[in-house]
Amino acid sequence: MEKREAGVIWKERMYFRSADLFAKENLLYILWGSVYLVDKPYEVSRNYMDAYMVQYILEGELHFELRGREFSAKANELVILNCKESNHYWADKPAKVKWFHFNGKMAENIVEYIYKNNGSGHFSGTYAKKAEPFINNVFELLRDKNSSDFELSHNIYSILCELAAPPPLKVSPAEDIIKKAEKYMRENYARPIAVKDVAEYTGLSLFYFTRLFKKLMRISPHLYLTNLRLDNAKNLLTHTYYSVEEIAGKSGFQSSSHFIRAFKKSTSLTPNNFRKYFSDNGKY
């Protein structure tokens, strides 16, 4: 007769994994995992287990008490737990959850880093979305008896890396202006535009725009625009038979002489010598 856990309505099956000595010494490795459908009175209160845990909520919600904080994790959200410390979670209505326990010598430091930088261990939005494919991979590998410890370790590590990523920084108004200027230059460098045209596009004076761009980008807008043109010219020299004059025009330079001067200053080569360098014999 199968033993039933209180509140567990259904479970896919319990997947157990025995890592070898190398995996235990050098990798992140799975202990066990499953997919549960639970309802009240499902409740787990744990003081210590030598493991860590990932819970991904598929349907409904689970409630958690971790490190003195209470919160609820809903569908498409996940929670990472350090089971070596007190944690408590429960259901008060139906919920479906995909979960696994893991361990490894590097696990403690990474999990602690995640808690330190990203709060309670509860993740939603972009964090959960990026981690989900790796969680799914873990379960595909658990179902496959021939899967390797390296594959599992890679996916566990990828989950932790996604959760450890810093939150996106808020873009200041000044940074937003410069990003628009970058986009404008990338889309229009082949046209005969100058920095004053870019400044006008942003609504700033030429003086203020130049100072702001250089402060945030660590490069002058003139050099940034010139580099875009030179990069395009290098691509055309390497992959096409256009003449130097044609390439100058297609890259936004005022004249072929201006192009040649700028190219030689940047690369110490003339455009023709650069083209020969990338020819079949590599001689110039």
Question: Which residue did the predictor score with more confidence, 68 or 272?
Answer: 272
Residue 282 has pLDDT above 60, yes or no: no
Q: Are residues 208 and 270 in the same domain?
A: yes
In a domain, 213, yes or no: yes
In a domain, 156, yes or no: yes
Q: Are residues 96 and 193 in the same domain?
A: no
- What is the rounded distance in angstroms from the CA atom of residue 232 to the CA atom of residue 194? 17
Q: What is the four-CA torsion angle of 174, 180, 186, 191, rounded to 10 degrees? A: -110
Mean of the pLDDT values across residues 188-195?
Answer: 96
What pLDDT score was predicted for residue 280?
59
pLDDT digits (tens, 9 = 90+) for 209-265: 999 999 999 999 999 999 999 999 999 999 999 999 999 999 999 999 999 999 999
Q: Are residues 131 and 220 in the same domain?
A: no
pTM metric for this prediction: 0.64
Mean of the pLDDT values across residues 187-194?
Answer: 96
**Mean pLDDT, the chain, as a whole number?**
93
What pLDDT score was predicted for residue 265?
95
- Domain span at residue 271 reads 173-277
Cβ neighbours for 216, distance < 8 A, ≥ 6 positions apart: 174, 175, 178
What pLDDT score was predicted for residue 67?
87
Q: Are residues 91 and 156 in the same domain?
A: yes
In a domain, 283, yes or no: no
Residue 283 has pLDDT above 60, yes or no: no
Following DSSP, what letter does each residue of 26-88 receive, concatenated? HS-EEEEEEEEEE-TT-EEEES--SSEEEEEEEESEEEEEETTEEEEEETT-EEEEETTS-EE
What pLDDT score was predicted for residue 1?
55
Domain at 177, CATH number: 1.10.10.60
Question: What confidence tier does 284 reach under pLDDT thresholds 50, 70, 90?
Answer: very low
Q: Are residues 225 and 246 in the same domain?
A: yes
Residue with tokens 């201006």: 258
Where a domain ends, among 126, 146, 164? 164
Where a domain ends, among 141, 164, 187? 164
Identity of residue 1:
M
- What is the rounded distance in angstroms from the CA atom of residue 262 to the CA atom of residue 271? 10
Where a domain ends, among 142, 164, 186? 164
What pLDDT score was predicted for residue 281?
56
Number of domains in the chain: 2
Domain at 134, CATH number: 2.60.120.280
In a domain, 240, yes or no: yes
Structure tokens at 20: 């070898």
